[in-house]
Amino acid sequence: MKKVIEVNGLYKFYRVGDSVVRALNGVDFTIHEGEFCAIVGTSGSGKSTLLNMLAGLEKPTRGEIIISGCHIEKMKENELVKFRRERVGFIFQSFHLLGTMNALENVALPLSFRGVPKSIRLKKADQMLNLVNLSKHKKHFPNQMSGGQQQRVGVARALVVDPDIIFADEPTGNLDSHTSEEVMHLMQKVVREQKKTLVMVTHDEHLASYADRIFHIMDGKIVRIEDNREIHKEEQQEKKKESEEKDHEKE
Amino acid sequence: MNLIDLLRMSSANLKRRKLRTFLTVLGVIIGTASIVVMISLGLGMQEAMYAQVEEYGGLTSIDVTGMNSYGGGYYFEDSEQSDPAKYLTDDTLEELKGISHIEAAVPRLTAEALLLKGKYQGWVTLIGLTPEGFAREKIELAEGSSLPDPKAGELQMVFGNGIITNMYDKNGGGGYWETGEYPDIDFMNDTVFYILDTDAYYQTQGNSGMMGENGEQVKPPKKHIVSASGMVDGTPDDYNMHYYDVYCDLETLKTMLKKEFRGKVIPGQPSTSSGKPYNYLVYSSVKVYVDELDNVDGVQEAIRALGYNTSSNIEYMESMKSQFAIIQAVLGGIGAVSLFVAAIGIANTMMMSIYERTKEIGVIKVLGCDLKNIKQMFLMEAAFIGLLGGVIGNVLSYLISFVINRIVSAEAILGVDGSISYIPPWLALASMGFAVLVGMAAGYFPALRAMRLSPLAAIRNE
Ligand SMILES: Nc1ncnc2c1ncn2[C@@H]1O[C@H](COP(=O)(O)OP(=O)(O)OP(=O)(O)O)[C@@H](O)[C@H]1O
Ligand SMILES: [Mg+2]
């Protein structure tokens, strides 16, 4: 399988007054195409720092980040912006929808940065909103939607540009547990169906179990990588069987 | 990001805060209007001056006067000891023909005369012009008038429409300026007399002995009957450049003067040191017509090199122009101050808008909006404020200008027709362009700031 993200010897130090905070203290891993990965750890363990660095929002102190063959740690700011525009979708913890735009326009926004004409843009956004089950809320503004609905708009916005990789920093952090499950299901479904690579940060072990692989991070180091792929496969097969049996019963 | 999307986002941002946008635009409106109105006042004055100059013989004519002659600054007492005086004679006309770019050089001879009609009398200046001079002078005549005929054998005259105001009651009854009424004289049909040898007239009027200074008897001067060939068009209320003049044929005037003052010095003409008259008459001025405006300076130089004095409207124009430039700079400067204040307003609005939208800017940066686009978006917003202010400011300026012209007539202030405030199209366009430029300049640093916002800090900022 193709390597999408490769991280080698990544360090990030912050200088706070006289002391140095080692937010990332030597991180190495590889993520392959179509994988759903979760980064889990306690508060302050360096999860967000790692994700921001993968998305090119922050510069590492030392180390390499290779995404689809490009060394993003060497890029200038406008190159990074271009890289994000063309390859990356982003889902935020606090949704960050633009308050002046309705759901449809919010989803279409990243396409406008690519210069896609308005009619095409809105059509694509429309499809995306259907995909995330928001066909009834297209004309709603963010302040007219619930948190879960807003986050689904956020997911649609990340998907609309057809990115190679989607980054999500605590996408369910502002949602209740039931809604969180819903959003996680949605993300899992989308990633499987569309073969996207998704990197998600969370501090909730349970939500992390939706991922194929889980990186456990502590004090800026990856301490354990959990592989759930086999379990997920079995689950899926069981589900298939169940539904087939149901179909049989109906007949 | 394409232009339409940029425009859409910028205008949406402006619409979001309508009152703030309106107040900022209001600043630009006031700034633009004050610049435009101020400059329009200067331009109005300038326009009026051009019109005036045009009326007074245009810009391509030069008045030539002699050196040390009666036309010059000082009198000709020592003329034969010091520099030879440069008189305007027929030789001068020949000399002037040698200079290129001169279309025509027409002499004019002036003489004082006294008009008499019943109890009224009045001083006038007779101006002798050649037929070519008349053609060039373009005097507008009243109906039934004609120019003096050089072959008439008598001195035919064209009266200025204001001559009537010069006539006054010699017994102390006053004239128009005292009584406010025009004396009842019709120069065309009444029998009016004129006297050229006015010295002799007064000597014979005043003392009964009829004795001159030297003790010899002074003959009373000859009274000639005026033969009026025409009047300048207009009533005595309409001032024009021929208002106070009486025109006649130059050659006939020469003959008349020579006959009248035989053996004596004609008043206003030079004499030799021994007090004898010359055997030729000196013109009081020569008007030189130049083919093109650009050549006026050169021709003027050439004539000066010959030793004559020259003056033309162009010099007056030049000095007026530099004065107007100063006036306009001052007026425009006053206006510019308010536009400068408006620019600060724009900068402030943009800064506020960026603070307000820090999170939003961060998000669109994370979503991949080009840095250039972010800068353009804010610059456009600022430019749009400038444009809106510029356009409305110009509409306001036209209104103000209209009202000023209604209330204050240029005639009252400058003494010429025309409007006191004049906004040419270029001023409107330039001021709008300037307002946009000011807007963009004011928005430039805020836009740079927006562009440089760290996306991370922006989205963290909850
Ligand atoms: N800009 C910064 N300056 C200084 N220290 C920082 C900065 N950003 C992060 N840190 C430090 O780096 C460490 C890791 O921070 P990070 O935000 O990655 O934690 P996290 O794992 O995302 O925690 P949480 O689950 O609470 O979001 C923390 O100790 C934090 O204090
Ligand atoms: Mg975090």
Does A143 score more than 90 pLDDT?
yes
A248 domain residue, yes or no = no
pLDDT digits (tens, 9 = 90+) for B30-71: 999 999 999 898 888 888 777 777 766 677 888 888 875 444
pLDDT at residue B338, as a whole number: 87
pLDDT at residue B336, as a whole number: 86
Does A217 score more than 90 pLDDT?
yes
Ligand 1: residue of A48, A53, A199, A201 to mutate (most ligand atoms within 8 A of CB) is: A48
Q: Is A113 in Cβ contact with B369 (below 8 Å)?
A: yes
Does B80 score more than 50 pLDDT?
no
Contact A218, A41 (CB under 8 A): yes
B180 contact partners, CB below 8 Å, separation of at least 6: none
Q: Is the beta carbon of A48 within 6 A of some atom in ligand 1?
A: yes
Chain A positions touching B456 (Cβ under 8 A) are: 52, 57-58
Q: Is A110 in Cβ contact with B363 (below 8 Å)?
A: no
The pLDDT confidence band at residue B182, using thresholds 50, 70 and 90, is: confident
Q: How far is A29 from chain B (nearest CA, A)?
A: 24
Highest averaged pLDDT of the listed ranges A18-32, B37-51, B293-307: A18-32
Give the pair of three-digit tokens for residue B11.
């205008």
Closest ligand 1 atom, residue A220 Cα = 14
- Alpha-carbon distance of B330 to A137, in angstroms, equals 60
Average pLDDT over residues B341-368: 91
Average pLDDT over residues A111-117: 93
Average pLDDT, chain B: 83
| A143 touches B: beta carbon within 8 Å | no
A99 domain residue, yes or no = yes
Provide, rounded to the nearest whole percent, the portion of chain B with pLDDT above 90.
Answer: 22
Among A239-248, B8-17, B73-82, B430-439, the minimum mean pLDDT is found in B73-82
pLDDT at residue B78, as a whole number: 45
Q: How far is CA B276 from CA A45, B264, B280, in A?
A: 122, 7, 12
For residues B172 and A162, which has the higher predicted lDDT (pLDDT)?
A162
How close is the Cα of A2 to the center of ligand 2, in Å?
A: 28
B98 contact partners, CB below 8 Å, separation of at least 6: none
Give the pair of three-digit tokens for residue B455.
């996306």
pLDDT digits (tens, 9 = 90+) for B19-28: 999 999 999 9
The pLDDT confidence band at residue A54, using thresholds 50, 70 and 90, is: very high
- A177: domain CATH number is 3.40.50.300
| A215 touches B: beta carbon within 8 Å | no
pLDDT at residue B57, as a whole number: 64
Does B369 score more than 60 pLDDT?
yes
Query: Cβ-count burial of A101 within 10 angstroms (0-12 exposed, 13-18 middle, 19+ buried)?
Result: middle
Contact A56, A83 (CB under 8 A): yes
For residues B294 and A12, which has the higher predicted lDDT (pLDDT)?
A12
Ligand 1: residue of A25, A45, A51 to mutate (most ligand atoms within 8 A of CB) is: A45
Contact B72, B309 (CB under 8 A): yes
pLDDT at residue B408, as a whole number: 80
Contact B99, B303 (CB under 8 A): yes
* Tally of CB atoms within 10 A around A74: 10
Average pLDDT over residues B354-373: 91
Which residue in chain B is spatially nearest to A90 when comparing CA positions? Answer: B367
Q: Closest Cα to residue A84, out of B456, B439, B129?
A: B456
pLDDT at residue B281, as a whole number: 83
> At A227, is the secondary structure helix, strand, or coil?
strand
- Alpha-carbon distance of A160 to A118, in angstroms, equals 14
Average pLDDT, chain A: 91
pLDDT at residue A102, as a whole number: 93
Q: Whose alpha carbon is nearest atom 30 of ligand 1?
A: A44
Q: How far is CA A244 from CA A34, A249, A251, B97, in A?
A: 26, 9, 11, 119
Query: Cβ-count burial of B420 within 10 angstroms (0-12 exposed, 13-18 middle, 19+ buried)?
Result: buried
Average pLDDT over residues B231-247: 84
Average pLDDT over residues B203-231: 69
pLDDT at residue B207, as a whole number: 53
Average pLDDT over residues A225-244: 84
Chosen from A98, A118, A141, A162 to mutate, greatest number of chain B CBs within 10 A = A98
Q: Is A86 in Cβ contact with B368 (below 8 Å)?
A: yes
pLDDT at residue A240, as a whole number: 82
Closest ligand 1 atom, residue A47 Cα = 21
Q: Whose alpha carbon is nearest atom 22 of ligand 1?
A: A48
- Alpha-carbon distance of A225 to A28, in angstroms, equals 11
Provide, rounded to the nearest whole percent, the portion of chain A with pLDDT above 90.
Answer: 67
**For chain B, what is the HEC assignment?**
CCHHHHHHHHHHHHHHCHHHHHHHHHHHHHHHHHHHHHHHHHHHHHHHHHHHHHHCCCCCEEEEECECCCCCCCCCCCCCCCCCCECECHHHHHHHHCCCCEEEEEEEEEEEEEEEECCEEEEEEEEEECHHHHHHHCCCECCCCCCCCCCCCCCEEEECCCHHHHCEECCCCEEHHHHCCCCCCCCCCCCCEEECCHHHHHHHHHCCCCECCCCCECCCCCCEECEEEEEECCCCCCCCCCCCEEEEEHHHHHHHHHHHCCCCCCCCCCECCCCCECCCCCECEEEEEECCHHHHHHHHHHHHHCCCEEEEHHHHHHHHHHHHHHHHHHHHHHHHHHHHHHHHHHHHHHHHHHHHCHHHHHHHHHCCCCHHHHHHHHHHHHHHHHHHHHHHHHHHHHHHHHHHHHHCCHHHHHCCCCCCCCCCHHHHHHHHHHHHHHHHHHHHHHHHHHHHCCHHHHHHCC
Average pLDDT over residues A159-179: 90
Give the pair of three-digit tokens for residue B67.
């050196």
Provide, rounded to the nearest whole percent, the portion of chain A with pLDDT above 70.
Answer: 99
Q: How far is B3 from chain A (nearest CA, A)?
A: 9
- Alpha-carbon distance of A198 to A90, in angstroms, equals 10
Does A44 score more than 60 pLDDT?
yes
A245 domain residue, yes or no = no
A251 domain residue, yes or no = no
Q: Closest Cα to residue B63, out of B263, B291, B310?
A: B310
* Sequence spans of domains, chain B: 3-54+319-460, 61-291
Average pLDDT over residues A86-111: 92
Count of CB contacts below 8 A, A vs B? 63
A 17-56 residues with CB < 8 A to B: 52, 55
- Alpha-carbon distance of B200 to B113, in angstroms, equals 12
Query: Cβ-count burial of B2 within 10 angstroms (0-12 exposed, 13-18 middle, 19+ buried)?
Result: middle
pLDDT at residue B71, as a whole number: 40
In chain A, the number of structural domains is 1
How much is the pTM?
Answer: 0.71
Domain that holds residue A82: 3-240
Single-letter amino acid, residue B445: F
Smallest-distance ligand from the CA of A169: 2
Q: Whose alpha carbon is nearest atom 24 of ligand 1?
A: A43
pLDDT at residue B411, as a whole number: 60
Average pLDDT over residues A203-215: 91
Which residue in chain B is spatially nearest to A163 when comparing CA positions? Answer: B367
Among A2-6, A73-77, B314-318, the minimum mean pLDDT is found in B314-318
Contact A222, A47 (CB under 8 A): no
Q: Which residues of B touch A (CB under 8 A)?
A: 1-2, 4-5, 12-13, 16, 359-360, 363-373, 455-456, 459, 462
Average pLDDT over residues B131-160: 85
Give the pair of three-digit tokens for residue A78.
């406008």
A150 domain residue, yes or no = yes
